[in-house]
């Protein structure tokens, strides 16, 4: 954690409010992994540039142990954040890494990768999140990229109020996160609020933003949001950030980004701008071209 004296105070004169609550949808993916889809396809336009948020948490190995065998992606980025448990990643670009407690895996699928994500334990809790972040049309066929960040490598700090903050992407209170992106300018924070704590975060008025409460409850501009709920934050030209308060201990993901305002064409694990590009992605996958070095 960074020293408190290194922090820069965030100034928020008017907090965004809660536009709506969202209750996640129980589903399964991969080889039957049970999860909750919090950000669904119907919200992609409203929460542009974010495409999906899955939350998974279980102490029953049969819910997750089969993991996510080889599957393709093209046209976006995945951000996997592990709260508990371990996940082994392998992909067709030659990357491999073991994601542990508190770690983040950031993968840019770009022109295409085929990868697997397999839990490396048979007992104990597996808990975490996977966020899908769109790429602008100009970057959808970029070269794939991958990096693992151990918990100790993620920037973090503790506020004067005792709020612990992990900065996965973007910047908060003067601390720059592990990853930055010019086009989407994502902010991704994990907040650990003690009882009676307050936290403020400035947000550009152009950004779409939401939070996901996964422990306890918080108030957003005085409106209560309990776990497990996502709260979409209203776009308000007069609001310069968001203010959270917790009566008791709480944990919250705060996520925001600059919308791309581009067409979204999705077919399963492929997210492009047009139906023709989706057809090409499917053809490339079926022909064995997707995920091959040098393939475009």
Q: What is the pLDDT of residue 122?
A: 66
Closest CA to 158 of 199, 187, 129: 199
Tokens of 169: 């992407």
- For 171-212, the pLDDT digits (tens) are 999 999 999 999 999 999 999 999 999 999 999 999 999 999
Q: What is the pLDDT of residue 147?
A: 92
Q: What's this model's pTM, rounded to 2 decimal places?
A: 0.94
Q: Examine the pLDDT at 278 and tell me if it is beyond 80.
A: yes
More confident residue, 93 or 46: 46
Q: What is the pLDDT of residue 240?
A: 97
Name 78's bridge partners: 107, 132
**Separation between Cα atoms, residue 111 and residue 295, nearest integer Å:** 8
- For 215-254, the pLDDT digits (tens) are 999 999 989 999 999 999 999 999 999 999 999 999 999 9
**Separation between Cα atoms, residue 61 and residue 115, nearest integer Å:** 21
More confident residue, 67 or 102: 102
Q: Examine the pLDDT at 296 and tell me if it is beyond 50.
A: no
Mean pLDDT of 260-279: 97
Name 39's bridge partners: 53
- Which CATH number is 4-286's, of 3.30.420.130, 1.10.10.10, 2.40.30.20, 2.60.120.10? 2.60.120.10
Q: What is the pLDDT of residue 37?
A: 94
CA distances from 205 to 15, 21, 180, 200 (A): 11, 20, 19, 15
- For 123-149, the pLDDT digits (tens) are 788 899 999 999 999 999 999 999 999
CA distances from 48 to 22, 51, 134, 206 (A): 16, 7, 8, 11
Judging by beta carbons within 10 Å of its beta carbon (0-12, 13-18, 19+), is residue 55 exposed, middle or buried?
buried
Q: What is the pLDDT of residue 292?
A: 58
For residue 284, the SS3 value is helix
- For 1-30, the pLDDT digits (tens) are 444 446 888 999 999 999 999 999 988 877
In the structure, what pLDDT confidence band is assigned to residue 110 with cuts at 50, 70 and 90? very high
Domain boundaries, the chain: 4-286
Tokens of 39: 């950000």
- Provide DSSP, 37-85: EEE-GGGTTTTTTEEEEEEEEES-GGGTTT-EEEEEEBSEEEEEEEEES
More confident residue, 219 or 86: 219
**Separation between Cα atoms, residue 102 and residue 178, nearest integer Å:** 13
**Separation between Cα atoms, residue 219 and residue 226, nearest integer Å:** 9
Q: What is the pLDDT of residue 3?
A: 40
């Amino acid at each position: 954690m960074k020293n408190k004296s290194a922090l820069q105070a965030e100034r928020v004169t008017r907090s965004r409010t809660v536009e709506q609550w969202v209750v996640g949808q129980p589903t399964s993916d991969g080889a039957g992994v049970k999860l909750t889809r919090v950000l669904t396809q119907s919200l992609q336009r409203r929460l542009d540039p974010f495409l999906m948020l899955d939350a998974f948490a279980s102490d029953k190995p049969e819910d997750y142990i089969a993991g996510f065998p080889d599957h393709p992606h093209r046209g976006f980025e995945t951000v996997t954040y592990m709260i508990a448990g371990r996940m082994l990643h392998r992909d067709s670009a030659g990357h491999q890494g073991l994601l542990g407690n508190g770690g983040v895996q950031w993968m840019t699928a770009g022109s295409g990768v085929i990868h697997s994500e397999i839990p490396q334990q048979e007992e104990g809790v597996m808990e975490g999140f996977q966020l899908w972040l769109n790429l602008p049309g100009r970057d959808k066929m970029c070269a794939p990229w991958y990096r693992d960040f151990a918990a100790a490598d993620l920037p973090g700090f503790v506020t004067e109020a005792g709020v612990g903050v992990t900065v996965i992407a973007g910047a908060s209170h003067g601390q720059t996160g592990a990853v930055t992106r010019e086009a989407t300018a994502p902010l991704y924070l994990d907040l650990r609020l003690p009882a009676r704590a307050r936290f403020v975060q400035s947000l550009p008025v152009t950004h779409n933003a939401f939070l996901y409460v996964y422990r306890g409850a918080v108030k957003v501009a005085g409106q209560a949001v309990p776990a497990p709920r996502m709260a979409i934050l209203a776009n308000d030209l007069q609001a310069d950030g968001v203010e959270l308060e917790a009566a008791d201990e709480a944990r919250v993901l705060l996520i925001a980004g600059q919308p791309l305002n581009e067409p979204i064409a999705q077919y399963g694990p492929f997210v492009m701008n047009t139906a023709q590009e989706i057809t090409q992605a499917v053809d490339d996958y079926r022909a064995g071209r997707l995920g091959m070095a040098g393939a475009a």
